[in-house]
Amino acid sequence: MSDTVSPQLGQIVKILRGRDLNKYAVIIAIVDQRFLWIADGDKRKFDQPKKKNLLHLQLQDVISQEVVNSLLETGRVTNGKLRYALNKFVETQQMEAPTQEGE
């Protein structure tokens, strides 16, 4: 596999395959080398996460410390915290993306 970066708990991923194509989610558990459990706190709640193949995800350079701390302390994370982490990430992405309005 060309991508040698290993996924981390709390890391934000972009979904590349399936029903949730191009949506973002947070890694809430790592099964093994190939599979992860992801949730977004909205369509995919913490209690009903989606098992995804790592090859179907694009790892982002952002890890939500709030999510990681919550998972390490209590073994769970609230759906609100997942939504907050994703919203914060998306807002940051939009601010960094160059705007196309001037054309």
Summarised one tens digit per residue, pLDDT across range 13-54 is: 999 999 999 999 999 999 999 999 999 999 999 999 999 999
Helix (H) or strand (E) run with residue 53 in it = strand 50-53
What pLDDT is stored for residue 96 in this prediction?
A: 82
The mean of the pLDDT values for the chain is: 91
Task: Tell whether 36 is covered by a domain.
Answer: yes
Residue 15's CB is within 10 A of a number of other CB atoms, namely: 20
Check whether 88 has a pLDDT greater than 90: yes
pLDDT at position 59 = 97
pLDDT at 94: 86
Within a domain: 72: yes
Examine the pLDDT at 5 and tell me if it is beyond 80: no
Rounded to two decimals, what is the model's pTM? Answer: 0.89
For residue 28, the domain's CATH number is: 2.30.30.140
| DSSP-based helix, strand, coil % in the chain, nearest 5 | 30, 25, 45
| 1 within some domain | no
Range of the domain at 37: 11-93
Q: Which two tokens stand for residue 14?
A: 């972009």
Question: Residue 2 above 50 pLDDT?
Answer: no
Position 100 in a domain:
no
Say how many domains are in the chain.
Answer: 1
| Sheet strand arrangement including 50-53 | 50-53, 35-39, 24-30, 11-15, 57-63
In whole angstroms, how far apart are CA 4 and each of 1, 53, 54, 62, 72?
7, 15, 12, 16, 24
- The helix (run of H) or strand (run of E) holding residue 57 is strand 57-63
